[in-house]
Amino acid sequence: MSALLEVAQLRTHFLTRAGVVKAVEGVSFTLERGEILGLVGESGSGKSVTGFSLIGLVDPPGRIVSGSIRFDGQELVGLAPDRMRALRGKRIAMVFQDPAATLNPVLTIGAQMALAVQAHGGGSERAARDLAARTLTRVGIPDAAARLDAYPHEFSGGMRQRVAIATALLHGPELIIADEPTTALDVSIQAQILAEMKQLAKQSGTALIWISHDLATVSSLADRVLVMYAGRIVESGPVASVLRAPLHPYTRGLLDSLPAMARPGEKLNQIPGSTPSLLSLPPGCPFAPRCPRATDICRSDPPVVTQPGRMALCHHPLEMAAA
Protein backbone atom coordinates (compact mmCIF):
# COMPACT_ATOMS: atom_id res chain seq x y z
CA MET A 1 0.00 0.00 0.00
CA SER A 2 1.28 3.48 -0.81
CA ALA A 3 1.87 6.16 1.79
CA LEU A 4 -1.16 8.06 3.08
CA LEU A 5 0.30 11.42 2.15
CA GLU A 6 2.99 12.26 -0.36
CA VAL A 7 4.02 15.89 -0.63
CA ALA A 8 6.44 16.80 -3.37
CA GLN A 9 8.10 20.17 -4.02
CA LEU A 10 5.26 22.11 -2.46
CA ARG A 11 5.56 25.86 -2.85
CA THR A 12 3.09 28.25 -1.25
CA HIS A 13 3.63 31.95 -1.81
CA PHE A 14 1.91 35.11 -0.58
CA LEU A 15 1.65 38.00 -3.01
CA THR A 16 1.79 40.98 -0.67
CA ARG A 17 2.15 44.68 -1.23
CA ALA A 18 5.82 44.43 -0.24
CA GLY A 19 6.57 41.53 -2.60
CA VAL A 20 6.29 37.77 -2.86
CA VAL A 21 6.63 36.03 0.50
CA LYS A 22 7.83 32.51 -0.18
CA ALA A 23 6.35 30.98 2.94
CA VAL A 24 6.75 27.39 1.76
CA GLU A 25 9.52 26.77 -0.76
CA GLY A 26 9.97 23.24 -2.05
CA VAL A 27 8.71 21.07 0.78
CA SER A 28 8.64 17.30 0.23
CA PHE A 29 7.81 14.54 2.66
CA THR A 30 5.71 11.42 3.04
CA LEU A 31 3.47 10.27 5.83
CA GLU A 32 2.48 6.67 6.48
CA ARG A 33 -0.91 5.59 7.77
CA GLY A 34 -1.10 5.90 11.55
CA GLU A 35 2.20 7.72 11.75
CA ILE A 36 2.73 10.74 13.99
CA LEU A 37 4.87 13.35 12.31
CA GLY A 38 6.24 16.36 14.18
CA LEU A 39 6.65 19.55 12.15
CA VAL A 40 8.97 21.84 14.10
CA GLY A 41 10.08 25.37 13.42
CA GLU A 42 10.20 28.89 14.75
CA SER A 43 7.69 31.56 13.79
CA GLY A 44 7.84 32.37 10.11
CA SER A 45 9.41 29.03 9.23
CA GLY A 46 6.38 28.05 7.14
CA LYS A 47 5.20 25.20 9.33
CA SER A 48 1.64 26.49 9.75
CA VAL A 49 1.33 27.48 6.10
CA THR A 50 2.41 23.96 5.19
CA GLY A 51 -0.38 22.62 7.38
CA PHE A 52 -2.97 24.91 5.84
CA SER A 53 -1.74 24.08 2.35
CA LEU A 54 -2.39 20.38 2.97
CA ILE A 55 -6.04 21.01 3.82
CA GLY A 56 -6.48 23.64 1.11
CA LEU A 57 -7.16 26.55 3.42
CA VAL A 58 -4.41 29.03 2.65
CA ASP A 59 -5.86 32.52 3.05
CA PRO A 60 -5.51 34.92 0.16
CA PRO A 61 -3.24 36.49 -0.94
CA GLY A 62 -1.46 33.19 -0.38
CA ARG A 63 -1.73 30.29 -2.80
CA ILE A 64 -0.03 27.06 -3.73
CA VAL A 65 2.06 27.96 -6.76
CA SER A 66 3.42 24.54 -7.58
CA GLY A 67 4.06 21.07 -6.27
CA SER A 68 1.95 18.09 -5.50
CA ILE A 69 0.04 16.80 -2.51
CA ARG A 70 -1.15 13.22 -2.97
CA PHE A 71 -3.54 12.02 -0.32
CA ASP A 72 -4.28 8.30 -0.56
CA GLY A 73 -3.26 8.48 -4.21
CA GLN A 74 -5.47 11.46 -4.99
CA GLU A 75 -3.91 14.76 -6.07
CA LEU A 76 -5.12 17.61 -3.85
CA VAL A 77 -3.40 20.52 -5.60
CA GLY A 78 -5.91 21.88 -8.08
CA LEU A 79 -8.73 19.67 -6.82
CA ALA A 80 -12.21 21.12 -7.40
CA PRO A 81 -13.37 23.12 -4.34
CA ASP A 82 -16.40 20.94 -3.62
CA ARG A 83 -14.36 17.75 -3.79
CA MET A 84 -11.78 19.29 -1.49
CA ARG A 85 -14.59 20.26 0.87
CA ALA A 86 -15.88 16.70 0.86
CA LEU A 87 -12.47 15.57 2.12
CA ARG A 88 -12.15 18.23 4.80
CA GLY A 89 -13.51 17.15 8.14
CA LYS A 90 -14.29 13.74 6.71
CA ARG A 91 -10.90 12.26 5.86
CA ILE A 92 -8.56 15.13 6.74
CA ALA A 93 -9.29 17.17 9.84
CA MET A 94 -7.55 20.08 11.49
CA VAL A 95 -7.19 21.48 15.01
CA PHE A 96 -6.08 25.07 15.51
CA GLN A 97 -3.94 26.90 18.00
CA ASP A 98 -6.37 29.08 19.92
CA PRO A 99 -9.51 27.28 21.04
CA ALA A 100 -10.99 30.58 22.23
CA ALA A 101 -11.00 31.89 18.66
CA THR A 102 -12.02 28.77 16.75
CA LEU A 103 -15.35 28.04 18.39
CA ASN A 104 -18.27 30.29 17.52
CA PRO A 105 -19.15 32.18 20.72
CA VAL A 106 -22.85 32.54 19.91
CA LEU A 107 -23.62 28.92 19.00
CA THR A 108 -23.87 26.06 21.47
CA ILE A 109 -21.23 23.35 21.36
CA GLY A 110 -23.90 20.89 20.24
CA ALA A 111 -25.09 23.10 17.38
CA GLN A 112 -21.56 23.62 16.10
CA MET A 113 -20.68 19.96 16.26
CA ALA A 114 -23.98 18.99 14.64
CA LEU A 115 -23.15 21.30 11.72
CA ALA A 116 -19.83 19.51 11.35
CA VAL A 117 -21.56 16.14 11.40
CA GLN A 118 -24.19 17.15 8.87
CA ALA A 119 -21.59 18.68 6.58
CA HIS A 120 -20.88 15.11 5.46
CA GLY A 121 -24.16 13.41 4.70
CA GLY A 122 -27.50 14.19 6.26
CA GLY A 123 -28.56 12.25 9.29
CA SER A 124 -31.02 13.67 11.74
CA GLU A 125 -30.23 16.44 14.19
CA ARG A 126 -30.75 13.82 16.87
CA ALA A 127 -28.22 11.39 15.43
CA ALA A 128 -25.75 14.22 14.94
CA ARG A 129 -26.02 15.22 18.58
CA ASP A 130 -25.62 11.62 19.68
CA LEU A 131 -22.42 11.30 17.70
CA ALA A 132 -21.21 14.64 19.08
CA ALA A 133 -21.87 13.51 22.65
CA ARG A 134 -20.09 10.19 22.13
CA THR A 135 -17.07 11.91 20.62
CA LEU A 136 -16.91 14.44 23.43
CA THR A 137 -16.85 11.58 25.91
CA ARG A 138 -13.93 10.06 24.00
CA VAL A 139 -11.83 13.20 24.47
CA GLY A 140 -12.48 13.20 28.20
CA ILE A 141 -15.37 15.59 28.64
CA PRO A 142 -17.54 14.29 31.47
CA ASP A 143 -21.33 14.45 31.23
CA ALA A 144 -21.04 15.24 27.51
CA ALA A 145 -24.71 14.95 26.53
CA ALA A 146 -25.70 17.64 29.02
CA ARG A 147 -22.86 19.92 28.00
CA LEU A 148 -23.94 20.02 24.35
CA ASP A 149 -26.22 22.91 25.21
CA ALA A 150 -23.43 24.96 26.75
CA TYR A 151 -21.76 27.87 24.99
CA PRO A 152 -17.99 27.96 24.46
CA HIS A 153 -17.45 30.67 27.07
CA GLU A 154 -18.77 28.29 29.70
CA PHE A 155 -15.80 25.99 29.09
CA SER A 156 -12.21 26.40 30.20
CA GLY A 157 -9.44 26.74 27.62
CA GLY A 158 -8.45 23.10 27.89
CA MET A 159 -12.07 21.95 27.56
CA ARG A 160 -12.58 24.14 24.51
CA GLN A 161 -9.55 22.57 22.87
CA ARG A 162 -11.03 19.16 23.64
CA VAL A 163 -14.23 20.24 21.90
CA ALA A 164 -12.17 21.27 18.86
CA ILE A 165 -10.36 17.95 18.90
CA ALA A 166 -13.66 16.09 19.20
CA THR A 167 -14.97 18.05 16.21
CA ALA A 168 -11.93 16.91 14.24
CA LEU A 169 -12.49 13.30 15.32
CA LEU A 170 -16.22 13.18 14.44
CA HIS A 171 -15.88 11.33 11.15
CA GLY A 172 -12.87 9.23 12.09
CA PRO A 173 -10.45 10.96 9.71
CA GLU A 174 -7.35 9.26 8.37
CA LEU A 175 -5.27 12.38 8.92
CA ILE A 176 -5.41 15.08 11.56
CA ILE A 177 -3.33 18.23 11.19
CA ALA A 178 -2.80 19.85 14.58
CA ASP A 179 -1.44 23.39 14.39
CA GLU A 180 0.17 24.20 17.76
CA PRO A 181 -2.91 22.92 19.59
CA THR A 182 -1.39 23.20 23.07
CA THR A 183 0.55 26.43 22.73
CA ALA A 184 -2.25 28.52 24.19
CA LEU A 185 -2.73 26.14 27.12
CA ASP A 186 -1.08 25.79 30.50
CA VAL A 187 1.55 23.12 31.09
CA SER A 188 -0.67 20.91 33.21
CA ILE A 189 -3.50 21.05 30.65
CA GLN A 190 -1.08 20.65 27.76
CA ALA A 191 0.17 17.45 29.34
CA GLN A 192 -3.38 16.10 29.58
CA ILE A 193 -4.15 16.90 25.94
CA LEU A 194 -0.85 15.50 24.70
CA ALA A 195 -1.40 12.24 26.51
CA GLU A 196 -4.94 11.95 25.18
CA MET A 197 -3.96 12.80 21.61
CA LYS A 198 -1.25 10.20 21.60
CA GLN A 199 -3.63 7.58 22.88
CA LEU A 200 -6.42 8.54 20.47
CA ALA A 201 -4.10 8.48 17.48
CA LYS A 202 -2.70 5.08 18.38
CA GLN A 203 -6.15 3.63 19.09
CA SER A 204 -7.82 4.81 15.92
CA GLY A 205 -4.81 4.48 13.63
CA THR A 206 -5.16 8.07 12.58
CA ALA A 207 -2.09 9.70 11.12
CA LEU A 208 -1.19 12.93 12.86
CA ILE A 209 0.84 15.93 11.77
CA TRP A 210 1.76 17.81 14.91
CA ILE A 211 2.94 21.34 14.18
CA SER A 212 4.85 22.92 17.05
CA HIS A 213 7.70 25.20 17.99
CA ASP A 214 8.49 23.02 20.98
CA LEU A 215 11.04 20.26 20.42
CA ALA A 216 10.29 18.59 23.74
CA THR A 217 6.58 18.24 22.99
CA VAL A 218 7.29 16.77 19.59
CA SER A 219 9.92 14.44 20.97
CA SER A 220 7.49 12.79 23.34
CA LEU A 221 4.72 12.47 20.79
CA ALA A 222 6.03 12.01 17.26
CA ASP A 223 7.59 9.08 15.43
CA ARG A 224 9.39 11.24 12.92
CA VAL A 225 10.24 14.91 12.89
CA LEU A 226 10.63 17.54 10.18
CA VAL A 227 12.57 20.69 11.07
CA MET A 228 11.64 23.74 9.02
CA TYR A 229 13.60 26.93 8.48
CA ALA A 230 12.72 29.77 6.11
CA GLY A 231 10.09 27.77 4.24
CA ARG A 232 12.26 24.67 3.74
CA ILE A 233 12.59 21.37 5.49
CA VAL A 234 16.21 21.48 6.64
CA GLU A 235 16.27 18.17 8.45
CA SER A 236 14.11 15.12 8.89
CA GLY A 237 14.33 11.69 10.40
CA PRO A 238 13.20 9.52 13.30
CA VAL A 239 12.65 11.84 16.23
CA ALA A 240 15.09 10.21 18.65
CA SER A 241 18.02 10.13 16.25
CA VAL A 242 17.43 13.68 15.01
CA LEU A 243 17.42 15.01 18.54
CA ARG A 244 20.29 12.85 19.72
CA ALA A 245 22.52 13.59 16.76
CA PRO A 246 21.22 16.41 14.56
CA LEU A 247 22.80 16.72 11.15
CA HIS A 248 21.84 20.28 10.42
CA PRO A 249 23.59 23.10 12.32
CA TYR A 250 20.23 24.82 12.77
CA THR A 251 18.73 21.83 14.58
CA ARG A 252 21.86 21.68 16.72
CA GLY A 253 21.54 25.40 17.51
CA LEU A 254 17.87 25.05 18.35
CA LEU A 255 18.63 22.26 20.83
CA ASP A 256 21.49 24.22 22.37
CA SER A 257 19.21 27.23 22.84
CA LEU A 258 17.01 25.34 25.27
CA PRO A 259 17.65 26.32 28.89
CA ALA A 260 16.84 22.74 29.87
CA MET A 261 19.95 21.60 27.96
CA ALA A 262 22.32 23.89 29.87
CA ARG A 263 23.50 24.24 33.44
CA PRO A 264 21.47 26.87 35.33
CA GLY A 265 22.98 30.34 35.21
CA GLU A 266 25.43 29.46 32.45
CA LYS A 267 25.32 31.17 29.11
CA LEU A 268 23.31 29.35 26.49
CA ASN A 269 24.89 28.38 23.22
CA GLN A 270 22.78 30.81 21.23
CA ILE A 271 22.24 31.09 17.47
CA PRO A 272 23.32 34.61 16.50
CA GLY A 273 21.16 36.91 14.38
CA SER A 274 17.51 36.50 13.53
CA THR A 275 15.33 34.74 10.99
CA PRO A 276 15.79 36.22 7.52
CA SER A 277 12.94 38.06 5.84
CA LEU A 278 11.12 35.73 3.48
CA LEU A 279 10.89 38.60 1.02
CA SER A 280 14.61 38.71 0.31
CA LEU A 281 16.38 35.48 1.11
CA PRO A 282 20.12 35.34 0.57
CA PRO A 283 21.33 33.22 -2.35
CA GLY A 284 22.63 29.89 -1.23
CA CYS A 285 21.60 28.48 2.12
CA PRO A 286 19.12 30.68 3.99
CA PHE A 287 20.75 29.71 7.30
CA ALA A 288 24.26 30.64 6.17
CA PRO A 289 24.33 34.14 7.76
CA ARG A 290 23.69 32.61 11.20
CA CYS A 291 25.61 29.36 10.73
CA PRO A 292 28.93 28.69 12.49
CA ARG A 293 29.90 26.15 9.81
CA ALA A 294 29.11 28.32 6.80
CA THR A 295 31.66 28.58 4.02
CA ASP A 296 31.69 30.38 0.70
CA ILE A 297 29.73 27.67 -1.03
CA CYS A 298 26.91 28.05 1.54
CA ARG A 299 26.64 31.72 0.67
CA SER A 300 26.53 31.13 -3.08
CA ASP A 301 24.89 27.77 -3.80
CA PRO A 302 21.69 26.41 -2.37
CA PRO A 303 22.37 23.17 -0.51
CA VAL A 304 20.97 19.85 -1.65
CA VAL A 305 19.67 16.96 0.35
CA THR A 306 22.39 14.82 1.85
CA GLN A 307 22.24 11.53 3.73
CA PRO A 308 19.12 9.79 2.41
CA GLY A 309 17.00 8.25 5.17
CA ARG A 310 18.23 10.80 7.65
CA MET A 311 17.92 13.86 5.48
CA ALA A 312 19.55 17.27 5.92
CA LEU A 313 19.56 20.24 3.61
CA CYS A 314 23.13 21.29 4.19
CA HIS A 315 26.52 21.59 2.51
CA HIS A 316 28.34 20.71 5.70
CA PRO A 317 26.17 18.44 7.84
CA LEU A 318 27.38 17.51 11.27
CA GLU A 319 28.84 14.03 11.54
CA MET A 320 26.45 11.37 12.71
CA ALA A 321 29.29 9.99 14.73
CA ALA A 322 29.57 13.19 16.73
CA ALA A 323 26.74 12.05 18.93
Contacts of residue 91, defined as CB under 8 A and 6 or more positions apart, other chains included, come to 71, 72, 171, 173, 174, 175
3-state SS class at 51: helix
- Taking CB under 8 A as the criterion, the residue among 31, 37, 116, 288 binding another protein is 116
- Residue 67 vs 161, nearer CB to another protein: 161
| Rounded least distance, CB 321 to another protein, Å | 16
Part of the chain binding another protein (CB under 8 A), chosen from 26-34, 65-73, 272-280, 293-301: 272-280
Query: CA quadruple 285, 290, 294, 297: dihedral positive or negative?
Result: positive
CB of 48 to another protein, least distance (A): 11
Rounded distance between C-alpha atoms, residue 127 and residue 130, angstroms: 5
**137 counts as binding another protein under rule CB under 8 A:** no
Tell me the site size for another protein, rule CB under 8 A. 86
Neighbouring residues of 190: CB distance < 8 A, sequence distance ≥ 6? 182, 217
Q: Are 162 and 134 in contact (CB under 8 A)?
A: no
Where does 142-245 show beta strands of DSSP type E?
Answer: 175-179, 207-212, 224-229, 232-238
Q: Does 279 bind another protein (CB under 8 A)?
A: no
Shortest Å distance, C-beta 301 to another protein: 24
| Contacts of residue 197, Cβ cutoff 8 Å, sequence gap at least 6 | 165, 178, 181, 208, 210, 221
* 142 in contact with another protein (CB under 8 A): no
Site for another protein in 197-226 (CB under 8 A): 198, 213-217, 219-223
| Residue 119 is a binding residue for another protein (CB under 8 A) | yes
Please tell me whether residue 306 binds another protein under the rule CB under 8 A: no
Residues 3-22 touching another protein, rule: CB under 8 A, are 16-17
3-state secondary structure of 96: coil
CA separation for the pair 92, 83 (Å, rounded): 12
183 interacts with another protein by CB under 8 A: no
Query: Per rule CB under 8 A, is residue 293 in the interface with another protein?
Result: no
Question: Of the candidates 5, 27, 49, 87, which one interacts with another protein according to CB under 8 A?
Answer: 87
Rg (CA), the chain: 21
- Report in angstroms how near the CB of residue 222 gets to another protein at its nearest: 7
* 47-86: contacts with another protein (CB under 8 A): 55, 57, 59, 61, 85-86
